[in-house]
Structure 1
Amino acid sequence: MTEHTPVAVATTYFEALGRGDVPAAMALLADDVVWHQPGANRFSGDHTGVAGVGALLGGMMEASEGSFGLAVTGPAMSNGEFVALPVRFTGQRSDAAMDMAGIDLLTVRDGKIAEVHLFSEDGPAEDIFWGRA
Structure 2
Amino acid sequence: MSEHPDAALVRRGYNAFSKGDMDALAGLMTADVIHHVPGTHPLSGHHKGREAVLELYRRYAEETGGTMRVELHHVLVDGRGHAMSFHTFYADRKDRGMEIGGGLFFTVVGGKITDIDECTADIDEENAFWA
| TM-score (norm: length of structure 2) | 0.89
Report deviation, 1:98.
0.9
> Counterpart amino acid of 1:31?
A
Q: 1:62, 1:19 → 2: CA distance?
A: 14
RMSD of the alignment, in Å? 1.7
Identity %: 27
Name the structure 1 match of 2:31. 31
Name the structure 1 match of 2:71. 71
Q: 1:29, 1:4 → 2: CA distance?
A: 18
* Residue 111 of structure 2 corresponds to residue 98 of structure 1: no
Answer whether contact 2:108 2:115 (CA < 8 A) is retained: yes
Say how many residue pairs are matched. 128
* Residue 47 of structure 2 corresponds to residue 47 of structure 1: yes
Report deviation, 1:15.
2.3
Q: Any stretches of 5+ residues in structure 1 without a counterpart?
A: none
* Residue 106 of structure 2 corresponds to residue 116 of structure 1: no
In structure 2, the CA distance between the partners of 1:117 and 1:37, relative to structure 1 (3 Å rule), is same
Answer whether contact 2:102 2:120 (CA < 8 A) is retained: yes
Answer whether contact 1:91 1:97 (CA < 8 A) is retained: yes
> Counterpart amino acid of 1:95?
D
Report deviation, 1:43.
0.6
Q: Any stretches of 5+ residues in structure 2 without a counterpart?
A: none
Answer whether contact 2:93 2:129 (CA < 8 A) is retained: no
> Counterpart amino acid of 2:84?
A
> Counterpart amino acid of 1:43?
L
Answer whether contact 1:37 1:118 (CA < 8 A) is retained: yes
The CA deviation string for residues 58-99 of structure 1, in whole angstroms up to 9 with x for no partner, is 11211111112112012x111111100111111103411111
Report deviation, 1:20.
3.7
